[in-house]
Amino acid sequence: MKRLVSVAAVAVVTAFALAGCSSSAIPGAPTSSTDASGSSPQDVSAPIVKAVTEDDAAASMLPSGTTTLTVGSNLQSPPATFFAADGTTPIGDEIDLINAIGNKLGVTMKIENMQFDTLITSLQSKRVDLTIASMNDNPTRQKVIDFVNYFDSSVGILLQKSNPDKIQSPSDLCGHTVNGVAGSTSVIWVESANPDLCKGRQPITVVTNANDQQRLNDLKTGRVTAALNDLPNVVYVSQTSGGGNDFMVLDTEPILAAPYGIGFNKDDTQLRDAVQKALQSLIDDGTYQKILDAWGLSRGAIAKATINGDS
């Protein structure tokens, strides 16, 4: 596997599992999020987040009077953002990270579960103050919102374990139907890649559905040939659904490799810069790495919190 597949595989070895009553439950996945030692990533990471104290320099950069920030997220993407076994508590490495940033800033982070394709418009309308939802920072999105970068990933292709259509490369998907989340990088990739990837052949047809369980059911029953999502997520699914017997991940060169970004309204530069400062503080004091280690995502770490991919 390429570098990012290895990153996600490490995450799976720590044996997270999606549990609970949310619509994001993966059919056939384990209902326990514990590993062989009896500990879950959340058990390990919670004390790390709780121990984070306020960074006066970062906190002073916030707009005056800020005590609570509303965070738009999409709680259907383990290991990044999903529900605990109670079906209501947000957990995941990104939830830990945004709460740690809140502790650095001395504010409370209020997590709002939203459809992925409504996150940008919710920033623009100021329904939420910021977003964190495994959203790739790319030039198209930078035209309408700003990002503070916090992780590296790419698009992943999930297939039935038996691979009945014998898909060996992305171009083998030409003439087939795949699914993804509306507005996601995965869907953008299909739409942009079709003219060259499938030149002289039928294009890849992409259907969108915001419900993870339905998209996986459609793949499992053969309604679609592949399900597209962020690579850490699809590898997680391949290792947990049906005890690892339902799905496989196509081994391919990184597709649209790009950093994940915390999203901000273009007008909220003061908030954006305060969050960047808080994130860099977490990177510098080692907390950021500890959170990623707890979730098995250490090799996806970045060394510098950048704005809109700037070095």
Residue 175 pLDDT: 98
Query: Which amino acid does the sequence have at 175?
Result: G
Q: Is it the case that residue 69 has pLDDT exceeding 70?
A: yes
Q: Is it the case that residue 86 has pLDDT exceeding 70?
A: yes
90 touches 97 (CB < 8 A):
no
Residue 18 pLDDT: 28
- Residue 131's nearest CA partner among 86, 179, 81, 89 is 81
Indicate the range of 65-74, 167-176, 225-234 predicted with least confidence: 225-234
Average pLDDT in the 245-273 region?
A: 94
State the Cα–Cα distance between residues 248 and 81, nearest whole angstrom.
21
Q: Bigger pLDDT: 281 or 296?
A: 281
The pTM assigned to this predicted structure is 0.74
Average pLDDT in the 259-278 region?
A: 98
Average pLDDT in the 202-219 region?
A: 95
Q: How many CB atoms lie within 10 A of CB 3?
A: 12
Indicate the range of 45-59, 162-176, 233-247 predicted with least confidence: 233-247
Average pLDDT in the 170-183 region?
A: 96
State the Cα–Cα distance between residues 247 and 240, nearest whole angstrom.
9
262 touches 148 (CB < 8 A):
yes
Q: Is it the case that residue 26 has pLDDT exceeding 50?
A: no
Q: Is it the case that residue 38 has pLDDT exceeding 60?
A: no
Residue 154 pLDDT: 86
pLDDT digits (tens, 9 = 90+) for 271-286: 999 999 999 999 999 9
Q: Is it the case that residue 287 has pLDDT exceeding 80?
A: yes
CATH numbers and ranges of domains, the chain: 3-153+258-300 (3.40.190.10), 154-255 (3.40.190.10)
State the Cα–Cα distance between residues 89 and 122, nearest whole angstrom.
22
Tokens found for residue 140: 């198209």
Q: Bigger pLDDT: 276 or 76?
A: 276
Residue 16 pLDDT: 30
pLDDT digits (tens, 9 = 90+) for 134-174: 998 989 999 999 999 999 988 999 999 999 999 999 999 99
State the Cα–Cα distance between residues 290 and 115, nearest whole angstrom.
29
254 touches 4 (CB < 8 A):
yes
Distances (CA, A) of 107 to 19, 34, 251, 270: 29, 30, 42, 15
135 touches 119 (CB < 8 A):
yes
**What's 100-162 look like in SS3?**
HHHHHHCCEEEEEECCHHHHHHHHHCCCCCEECCCCECCHHHHCCEEEEEEEEEEEEEEEECC
pLDDT digits (tens, 9 = 90+) for 94-141: 999 999 999 999 999 999 999 999 999 999 999 999 999 999 898 999
Residue 310 pLDDT: 80
299 touches 264 (CB < 8 A):
no
295 touches 77 (CB < 8 A):
no
SS3 262: strand
Mean pLDDT of the chain: 87
Tokens 């809109």 locate to 308
Could you check whether the bond before residue 41 is cis, i.e. omega within 30 degrees of 0? no
Residue 212 pLDDT: 87
Q: Give the percent of the chain with pLDDT over 90.
A: 70
The confidence band for 222, taking pLDDT boundaries of 50, 70 and 90, is very high
Q: Is it the case that residue 4 has pLDDT exceeding 50?
A: no
Q: What is the DSSP string of 192-236?
A: HHHHHHTTTSPPPEEEE-S-HHHHHHHHHTTSSSEEEEEHHHHHH
